[in-house]
């Protein structure tokens, strides 16, 4: 029997041992996309798969999902029927996969109200996975916290009639439906509501609570991260100090770095931001090693510093133009997103960003690029400005603007892995400076290559 965490504040852990989630927002997710509610529920099953996978990867031992409350029977009959069919399909298709991955499957709640086929599938799934130990996945179905406490009291009185004269809380614990699991370390509710909704009322006494506006189908591995961007920021600061010493030794910004070094460092960095970082964001990759995070932060700033030195030495005007591109893209994305934003760009990373905001940013920087052509000579360009040159310049500016978005999202993902909103909270006194340069770190290496090859 586990030790109840209500006897003391539970130990703070890097990774929660037990996570409990209310999966809310399937219907609203579908409605926003003009889809039937069933589409939201089906997409919600995919989010369950991603969450189970993320918990396994991070070493979570228990995951409890509130799938169907005792109050859900009040929903329209056709929706309840659809939910039951999805439940049956999931039991038929997913339990074998759980067993293959050493995941134990449990269902808590009053299952007597379900049709015989569902009860049989539940019993078969629990028996099949009973000896698995990698993760215990509990599905709360036709469950209510009040029901759980009431049935536990009835079972206690049946086993120990003398308890009718009084009993201590610990005496009730063995009869609760989740007596096999420790109390949750972390409770998550998606969909914007901030209440328990009769879920695990006894067990959540000292649990950390996290409420998010993300709808359940948009909840994924990145939103579930607990690892830190702390060491990414630390790596950047360490690299920054090293580069300050190198500057005092003669590598001042007015001295361009040797061309092979610039091409090699900025080329690798540009390929990372163009090819690897978008895939990283899409897949929600994690760096578990602290050394790895520090190394990544160092490499990001080293490439940025080399690019800054090269651009300031060859064309200060180009450096200022890039800063303007990033600022215009960020500002235009903000206003366009607020006015027209409907389709989320990366809701699990940065819920406020939308595809409409990106389109607005690209339009704004395209206009700015055309204006820059009028002043190209001032930036060091000595060739003829032809249609092909203008088209190439426009393409370069749009790519740099796109890279700035990638850089912004990349740091946002690392911050979400840490569970902070502003990087100023990652490192005390940091003041959120990194929030203002993250877009530049992604665009700067590519811009330095452009300056190296296009400006003579």
Residue-by-residue DSSP string for 387-424: HHHHHHHHHHHHHHHHHHHHHHHHHHHHHHHHT-SSGG
Indicate the domain borders of the chain. Answer: 5-218, 230-454
pLDDT tens-digit profile of 253-312? 444 556 777 788 888 888 888 888 888 877 767 666 666 766 777 777 788 878 877 777
Q: 119-123: long-range contacts (C-beta < 8 A, 24 or more apart)? A: 121/88, 121/91, 121/92, 121/95, 122/91
Residues facing 65 on adjacent strands: 21, 139
pLDDT at 242: 43
For residue 275, give the DSSP letter: I
pLDDT band at residue 251 using 50, 70 and 90 as cut-offs: very low
Query: Widest CA span of the chain, in angstroms?
Result: 98
Contact by Cβ (8 Å): 397, 365: yes
Tens digits of residue pLDDT in 342-382: 787 877 666 677 888 888 888 988 888 887 777 666 655 56
* Alpha-helix runs per DSSP H in 24-173: 26-32, 37-58, 77-100, 116-128, 145-159, 169-172
For residues 205 and 219, what is the distance between their CA atoms, to the nearest angstrom? 25
Structure token digits, residue 322: 């890039």
pLDDT at 230: 37
Which positions are catalytic? 24, 72
Residue 228 has pLDDT above 90, yes or no: no
- Which residue's structure tokens are 């049989």? 120
Indicate if the pLDDT at residue 249 is higher than 50: no
Asked if residue 138 has pLDDT above 50, the reply is yes
Mean pLDDT value of segment 89-93: 88
Would the pLDDT of 17 be above 80? yes
Residues 5-218: name the CATH superfamily. Answer: Decaprenyl diphosphate synthase-like (3.40.1180.10)
Across 264-295, b (16+ Cβ under 10 Å) vs e yields ebbbebbebbbeebbebbeebebbeeeeebbb
Q: What is the mean pLDDT of residues 439-445?
A: 82
Q: What is the pLDDT of residue 106?
A: 94
Q: Who's near 44: CB < 8 A, 6+ residues apart? A: 23, 26, 29, 216, 217
Give residue 46's pLDDT band: very low, low, confident or very high (50, 70, 90): confident
Residues 23/67, Cβ–Cβ less than 8 Å: yes
Q: Which of 64-78, 186-200, 223-237, 403-417 has the lowest mean pLDDT?
A: 223-237
| pLDDT at 65 (0 to 100) | 93
Per-residue pLDDT tens for 260-269?
777 888 888 8
12 band by pLDDT with thresholds 50, 70 and 90: low
Q: Is the model's pTM score more than 0.85?
A: no
Query: What sign has the CA pseudo-torsion 238, 419, 337, 272?
Result: positive
Report the distance separating Cα 184 and Cα 374, nearest Å: 62
- What pLDDT was estimated at residue 156? 92
Least confident of 68-72, 104-108, 135-139: 68-72
């Amino acid at each position: 029997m586990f030790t109840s965490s209500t006897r003391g504040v539970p130990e703070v852990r890097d990774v929660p041992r037990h996570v409990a989630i209310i999966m809310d927002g399937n219907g609203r997710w579908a409605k926003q996309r003009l889809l039937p509610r069933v589409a939201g529920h089906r997409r919600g099953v995919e989010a369950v798969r991603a969450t189970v996978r993320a918990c396994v990867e991070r070493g979570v031992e228990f995951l409890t999902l509130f799938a169907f409350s005792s109050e859900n029977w009040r929903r329209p009959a056709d929706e309840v029927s659809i939910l039951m069919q999805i439940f049956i399909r999931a039991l038929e298709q997913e339990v074998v996969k759980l067993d293959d991955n050493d995941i134990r499957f449990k269902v808590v709640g009053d299952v007597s109200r379900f049709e015989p086929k569902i009860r049989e599938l539940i019993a078969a799934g629990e028996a099949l996975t009973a000896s698995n130990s990698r993760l215990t996945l509990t599905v709360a179905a036709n469950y209510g916290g009040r029901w759980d406490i009431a049935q536990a009291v009835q079972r206690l009185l049946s086993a120990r009639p003398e308890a009718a004269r009084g009993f201590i809380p610990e005496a009730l614990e063995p009869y609760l439906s989740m007596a096999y699991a420790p109390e949750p370390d972390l409770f998550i509710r998606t969909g914007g509501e901030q209440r328990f909704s009769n879920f695990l009322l006894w067990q959540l006494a000292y649990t950390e609570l996290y409420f998010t506006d993300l709808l359940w189908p948009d909840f994924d591995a990145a939103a579930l991260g607990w690892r830190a961007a702390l060491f990414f920021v630390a790596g950047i600061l360490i690299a920054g100090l090293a580069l300050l010493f190198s500057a005092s030794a003669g590598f001042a910004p007015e001295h361009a770095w040797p061309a092979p070094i610039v091409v090699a460092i900025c080329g690798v960095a540009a390929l990372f931001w163009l090819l690897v970082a978008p895939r990283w964001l899409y897949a929600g990759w994690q760096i578990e090693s602290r050394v790895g995070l520090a190394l990544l932060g160092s490499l990001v700033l080293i490439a940025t510093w080399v690019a800054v030195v090269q651009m300031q030495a060859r064309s200060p005007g180009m450096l200022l133009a890039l800063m303007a591109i990033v600022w215009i893209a960020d500002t235009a994305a903000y206003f366009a997103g607020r006015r027209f934003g409907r389709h989320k760009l990366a809701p699990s990373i940065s819920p406020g960003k939308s595809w409409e905001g990106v389109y607005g940013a690209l339009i704004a920087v395209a206009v700015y690029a055309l204006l820059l052509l009028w002043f190209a000579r001032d930036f060091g360009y000595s060739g003829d400005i032809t249609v092909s040159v203008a088209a190439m310049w426009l393409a370069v500016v749009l790519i740099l603007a796109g890279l700035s978005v990638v850089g912004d999202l990349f740091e946002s993902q690392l911050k979400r892995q840490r569970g902070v909103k502003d990087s100023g909270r990652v490192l005390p006194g940091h003041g959120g400076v990194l929030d203002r340069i993250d877009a530049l770190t992604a665009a700067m290496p590519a811009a330095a290559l452009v300056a190296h090859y296009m400006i003579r």
